[in-house]
Amino acid sequence: MQAHTMSPSISSQPVSDATVVPRVGVAVFVLNEKGHVLIGRRTGSHGAGTLALPGGHLELHESFYDCAARETFEETGLVLEPPQSQAQSELLVPSPPSLHAHLGPQSPSQPILASTALSPSPFDSASPSAAAASKPLDDLVPRIPPTPLQFLTAQNSVRMKDYGEKGNGKHYVTIFMKASVRYDPENPVAQAQIMEPSKCLGWCWIPVSYLFRAAHRQQELQLLQLAAASEGRSLPVSIDKLLEAESLAQALQEADETDPVSSFGSPTTTGPMGSSIRRPSVASPPHANGHQDVQSAQEILAWAEADDFARGAPLFQPLVNVIIDHPGLQLA
């Protein structure tokens, strides 16, 4: 009887290779006290040079919640709000305490995912108007209510390729979660740390509207690239360069103070991408509410900081896919 052998192209590759079998990743929309989302610049691995959420591979026997909490802490040092409840099936096979050892000062008997008492709410103020005079501007804008760790959706991303990569690409199923940073009264402003410099070059809090606009901008460029390829043509430069050029053009437009219509304060930015997501405006009429004035100014600053951090870098493809495929995605 003739023995059957596996194809060398498959047997020679480890089962952890995403070009051979689908891999499962978990990504987390981490929200800070302002409702902004944390993104980092990837390096040293698949998707190097792109902007992505905290996250990583799902480990053996690990729940989505445990993976989200572990990866976020390992990469940023941030602890997430615990979920309001766990799936009934997970109550039958609880995670061992060793999975929560990365939480450091928090007792393993009271892991982040346990139903423990929450820290005092930052927006439970008896008389906000009386305290407003002694607070800095950042504190004049109300903090958003905490978002417990929860499942959002799953995204199937096939044939993902890094720039210049040959072959059929990688196949990832990404589990998207969301949660706000657990409130710490001693450190009320969430600050992400670069815990794994070989994997991430830096972190930045960006407005949700900025993230959505960037995803739509990138997707339309990809469609343009695909249309050109179907006609036997190619774009003169890579998508990375196109995004960088558009970001520079936008910055120059915003710096032009001689034209109040085309400056940074245009009500809606519709560049070559055709995105209709509104950009915060400095030309907007003043609000009667001082809190709204401060919030608008902070949003403008947040967009500028996001531009400076991104510098035209593309988003990690699964992040683009989930935003495009789920237009009603609710983060805050």
In the chain, what are the domains? 8-325 (3.90.79.10)
244, two tokens: 């960088």
Residue found under tokens 């940074």: 264
Per-residue pLDDT, 292: 62
**What CA–CA distance (Å, rounded) separates 240 from 71?**
27
Residues in the chain: 332
Label residue 230 by pLDDT band (50, 70, 90): confident
Per-residue pLDDT, 165: 73
- The CB density around residue 93, as the number of other CB atoms within 10 Å, is 9
**pLDDT tens digit string along 4-47?**
544 444 445 555 677 788 999 999 999 999 999 999 999 987 88
More confident residue, 5 or 297: 297
- Is 126 a residue whose pLDDT tops 90? no
Please tell me what DSSP assigns to residue 34.
T
Kindly state the average pLDDT of the residues 198-214.
96
Q: What is the mean pLDDT of the chain?
A: 75
- Residue 47, SS3 per DSSP: coil
Of all residues in the chain, the percent with pLDDT exceeding 70 is: 62
Per-residue pLDDT, 168: 84
**What CA–CA distance (Å, rounded) separates 105 from 125?**
28
**What CA–CA distance (Å, rounded) separates 41 from 201?**
5
More confident residue, 94 or 243: 243
212, two tokens: 């959505």
- Is 158 a residue whose pLDDT tops 80? yes
**What CA–CA distance (Å, rounded) separates 154 from 176?**
6
Label residue 312 by pLDDT band (50, 70, 90): confident
Per-residue pLDDT, 311: 87
Question: Which pairs from 230-239 meet CB under 8 Å and 24+ separation?
Answer: 238/163, 239/314
CB 210 within 8 A of CB 34: no
pTM over 0.95: no
Angle at 297 between CA 295 and CA 299, to 5 degrees: 70
